């Protein structure tokens, strides 16, 4: 059987302000009602695939779990990488997890943030790859190029591999991102494919090749995996051991060095959605070439991507623009320069701006909150708690809180008292008071929280007990 391994650790910085460090593009619904992670799962052929194994980081674990639940998907495992070490160590952890169960499945390594429009063509390419992987080949998927692209690496095809009706080629070489003139020669030659970053191979074969070419990586990953711990639905890898692991991509660590690499061509409407220009390319457009999301009124506007998240956005006499409005930020960019959005994100990160990490609406395992207003010594939030969910038992050194229930019923622990607060009722949590909030009902609980104090940061939380295992 095929075990899908879905890599969900990307940041999607070029899609800011939609994508943020703690809520990146793979968790966004960019083309329809499903997120990119959910779409990655949904295009799999369930009759031929096991439940997927997800690899993500600690900060994203509850988003992953919630999106799997909403998608009615059971994961075979959710492995938490202590820190990003590129693709080779992550895939190694997945291979070790697979063989630890006494199996040797074919690993289908996929990114969580790709768009593929032609699902039958994708599934056929997977079946072609399966035929080679079952013969101990290490397969990579090469995208048949549609234009001279400078943003992707390329794979040069070698000799055709004969395997019944399956189409595949020896890998002649992996090529770095070219300049435009070189990319055009690649396109004209019909010998080059875009490097998609998707792979298929037996778990054991990958580990065998890694042992040849990167034995230190394999040894450290094995040690880190053997010292794992279970945390709810998540597998935690030893951070101290994993931190010693070399950082390398699977291309450099294995695929460029093995003699058993095969590339399977794929023509399936693929995109890595790496920028707003590529998002514009794969989205449905109106008669003027515009992609519109939200409340938009345009006049004499052409070839633009406009995303109005929460306000009316109007445009007059513009062409080739990207306009993205969120609750806390506005981006206006020339569509030809959207790769440079990353430079804005780097400045936000350097200045430790809130907008680098979070959307104004922040998701938690118990629900979410929306920061409605900030002051020097006050903050207002709208908090939504899922039925049956409970915030940690906690206290704050620097702030007090007022809670006003808007809808639902809250079970409140305030010091040594526990009581119910219903709609249009309120309670006050003094500074330094141990407290907790729970939704005992079957409907979402919504309340307004007013914080006052000398410091209102999210790190002013001392947790005494937490059902979600947070420190």
- Model pLDDT for residues 11-20, shown as the tens digit of each residue: 889 999 999 9
pLDDT for residue 471: 65
Distance of CA 384 to the CA centre of its chain: 23
**What percent of the chain lies above the pLDDT cut of 90?**
88
Using the CB atoms, write b or e for 344-358: b if 16+ within 10 Å. bbeebeeeeebbbeb
pLDDT for residue 266: 96
pLDDT for residue 460: 92
Average pLDDT over residues 209-215: 96
Average pLDDT over residues 256-265: 96
Residue 403 clears pLDDT 80, i.e. is over it: yes
Spell out the domains of the chain, with CATH numbers in brackets: 2-270 (3.90.550.10), 276-341 (no CATH), 360-465 (2.60.120.10)
pLDDT band at 102 (very low <50, low <70, confident <90, very high): confident
List C-alpha distances in Å: 299 to 123, 311, 314, 319, 332.
42, 17, 8, 11, 17
Phi, psi of 188 (to 5 degrees): -70, -30
pLDDT band at 162 (very low <50, low <70, confident <90, very high): confident
pLDDT for residue 458: 85
pLDDT for residue 11: 81
Mean pLDDT of the chain: 94
> What tens digit of pLDDT does each residue of 24-79 get?
999 999 999 999 999 999 999 888 999 999 999 998 998 999 899 999 999 999 99
**What percent of the chain lies above the pLDDT cut of 70?**
100
Distance of CA 245 to the CA centre of its chain: 22
From 14-18, 268-272, 372-376, the region with the lowest mean pLDDT? 372-376
pLDDT band at 257 (very low <50, low <70, confident <90, very high): very high
Q: Tokens for 48, please give them.
A: 């031929």
pLDDT for residue 47: 82
3-class SS at 193? strand
Distance CA 252, CA 213 (A): 10
DSSP state of 43: T
Packed helices 203-213 and 87-100: angle between N→C axes, nearest 10 degrees: 130
pLDDT for residue 77: 94
Q: pTM for this one?
A: 0.89
The gap between the terminal CA atoms of the chain, to the nearest Å, is 38
pLDDT band at 212 (very low <50, low <70, confident <90, very high): very high
Average pLDDT over residues 401-424: 97
């Amino acid at each position: 059987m095929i075990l899908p391994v879905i890599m969900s650790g990307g940041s999607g910085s070029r899609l800011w302000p939609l994508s943020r460090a703690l809520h990146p593009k793979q968790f966004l619904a960019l083309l329809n009602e499903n997120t990119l992670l959910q779409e990655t799962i949904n295009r799999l052929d369930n009759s031929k695939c096991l439940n997927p194994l997800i690899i993500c980081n600690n900060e994203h674990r509850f988003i992953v779990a919630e999106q799997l639940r909403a998608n009615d998907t059971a994961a075979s495992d959710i492995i938490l990488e202590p820190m990003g070490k590129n693709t080779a160590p992550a895939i190694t952890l997945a291979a070790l997890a697979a063989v630890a169960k006494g199996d040797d499945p074919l690993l289908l390594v996929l990114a969580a943030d790709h768009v593929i429009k032609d699902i039958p063509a994708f599934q056929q390419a997977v079946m072609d790859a399966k035929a080679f992987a079952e013969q101990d080949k290490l397969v990579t998927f090469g995208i048949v190029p549609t234009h001279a692209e400078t943003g992707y690496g390329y794979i040069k095809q070698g000799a055709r591999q004969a395997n019944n009706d399956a189409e595949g080629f020896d890998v002649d070489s992996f090529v770095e991102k070219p300049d435009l003139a070189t990319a055009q020669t690649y396109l004209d030659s019909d010998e080059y494919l875009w490097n998609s970053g998707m792979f298929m191979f037996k778990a054991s074969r990958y580990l065998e090749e890694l042992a040849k070419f990167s034995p230190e990586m394999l040894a450290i990953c094995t040690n880190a995996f053997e010292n794992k711990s279970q945390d709810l639905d998540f597998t935690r890898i030893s951070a101290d051991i994993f931190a010693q692991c070399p950082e390398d991509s699977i291309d450099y660590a294995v695929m460029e060095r093995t003699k058993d690499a095969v590339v399977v061509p794929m023509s399936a409407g693929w995109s890595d959605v790496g920028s707003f220009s590529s998002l514009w390319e794969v989205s449905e457009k109106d008669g003027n070439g515009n992609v519109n999301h939200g409340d938009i009124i345009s006049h004499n506007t052409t070839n633009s991507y406009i995303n109005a998240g929460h306000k009316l956005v109007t445009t007059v006499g513009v062409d080739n623009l990207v306009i993205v409005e969120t609750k806390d930020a506005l981006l206006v960019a020339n569509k030809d320069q959207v790769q440079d959005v990353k430079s804005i994100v780097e400045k936000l990160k350097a200045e430790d701006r809130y907008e680098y990490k979070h959307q104004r609406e922040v998701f938690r395992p118990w629900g979410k909150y929306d920061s409605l207003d900030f002051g020097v010594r006050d903050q207002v939030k709208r908090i939504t708690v899922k039925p049956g969910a409970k915030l940690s038992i906690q206290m704050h050194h620097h702030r007090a809180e007022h809670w006003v229930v808007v809808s639902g019923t809250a079970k409140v622990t305030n010091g040594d008292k526990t009581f119910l607060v219903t709609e249009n009722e309120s309670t006050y949590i003094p500074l330094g008071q141990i407290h907790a909030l729970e939704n005992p009902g079957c409907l979402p609980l919504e309340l307004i929280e007013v914080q006052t104090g000398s410091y209102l940061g999210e790190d002013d939380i001392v947790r005494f007990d937490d059902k979600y295992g947070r420190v």
